Amino acid sequence: MMESSRQIMAIGNHLLFQAIIEELPHHDWSIFQADDLTEALGFIGKNDCKIGLIFLREGADSFPLELERYPGLSALHWVVLVENIDRLSDKARDMIYSDCFAYLAAPLDARSVSVLLESALGMAKLKDQHDACRAGCHDGDLRMVGDTPVMQHLYRTIHKVAAFDAPVLITGESGTGKELTARAIHDLSSRRHGPFNVVNCGALPAGLIQSELFGHEKGAFTGANQRKPGIIENSQDGTLFLDEIGDLPLDMQVNLLRFLETLTVFRVGGLKEIPVDVRVLAATHVDLEQAVEKGEFREDLYHRLNVLQVQTPALREHPEDIEPLANFFFHRFSDDKPIKVRGFRHDSLVVMQQHRWPGNIREMVNRVRRAMIMCEHRLISPGDLGLERRNGHSRDADSLQQARDTAECEAIKAALARNKHKILHASRELGISRVTLYRLLEKHGIDRNGGQDESASDFPSTSKTIQLT
Does residue 288 have a pLDDT over 80? yes
Three-state DSSP class for residue 348: helix
Q: Which residues contact 402 (CB under 8 A, 6 or more apart)?
A: none
Q: What is the pLDDT of residue 96?
A: 79
Closest CA to 7 of 24, 19, 273: 24
% of the chain residues with pLDDT over 90: 25
Q: Using pLDDT thresholds of 50, 70 and 90, give the confidence band for residue 119.
A: confident
Distances (CA, A) of 233 to 31, 83, 169, 215, 302: 66, 73, 21, 8, 22
The answer to whether the beta carbons of residues 198 and 241 sit under 8 Å apart is yes
Q: pLDDT tens digits for 166-179?
A: 999 999 999 999 99
Does pTM top 0.75 for this prediction? no
Taken in order of first residue, the domains within the chain and their CATH numbers are 4-130 (3.40.50.2300), 149-311 (3.40.50.300), 316-391 (1.10.8.60), 402-468 (1.10.10)
Other CB atoms closer than 10 Å to residue 130's CB: what's the count? 13
State the chain's maximal CA–CA distance in angstroms. Answer: 106
Q: What is the pLDDT of residue 212?
A: 83
Three-state DSSP class for residue 228: strand
Rounded Cα distance between 408 and 362, Å, is 39
Q: What is the pLDDT of residue 450?
A: 56
In terms of average pLDDT, the best of 110-114, 205-209, 435-439 is 110-114
SS (H, E, C) 365-434: HHHHHHHHHHCCCCEECHHHHCCCHHHCCCHHHHHHHHHHHHHHHHHHHHHHHHCCCCHHHHHHHHCCCH
Q: What is the pLDDT of residue 157?
A: 92
Rounded Cα distance between 130 and 351, Å, is 25
Q: Which residues contact 251 (CB under 8 A, 6 or more apart)?
A: none
420 sits in the region (left: phi over 0; alpha: psi -120 to 50; else beta) called left
Q: Which residues contact 323 (CB under 8 A, 6 or more apart)?
A: 349, 352, 353
Closest CA to 95 of 109, 82, 114: 82
Question: Reduced to 3 DSSP states, what percent helix, strand and coil does the chain have, rounded to the nearest 5?
Answer: 50, 15, 35
Peptide bond just before 382 cis, omega within 30 deg? no
Rounded Cα distance between 202 and 334, Å, is 32
Q: pLDDT tens digits for 68-111?
A: 566 667 778 888 888 778 777 777 777 777 778 888 888 888 88
Distances (CA, A) of 274 to 83, 216, 247, 252, 285: 82, 12, 26, 18, 32
H or E element in which residue 170 lies: strand 168-171
Rounded Cα distance between 14 and 4, Å, is 26
Q: Using pLDDT thresholds of 50, 70 and 90, give the confidence band for residue 452.
A: very low
Sequential DSSP letters for 33-102? E-SSHHHHHHHHHHS---EEEEEE-TT--S-SS-GGG-HHHHTSEEEEEES-GGGS-HHHHHHHHHH-SE
The answer to whether the beta carbons of residues 387 and 355 sit under 8 Å apart is yes
In terms of average pLDDT, the best of 98-112, 235-249, 412-426 is 235-249
Q: For residue 199, give the DSSP letter.
A: E
Sequential DSSP letters for 243-295? ETGGGS-HHHHHHHHHHHHHSEE--BT--S-EE---EEEEEESS-HHHHHHTT
Rounded Cα distance between 323 and 78, Å, is 25
Q: pLDDT tens digits for 35-64?
A: 766 777 777 777 778 888 888 776 555 555
Mean pLDDT of the chain: 80
Rounded Cα distance between 284 and 169, Å, is 8
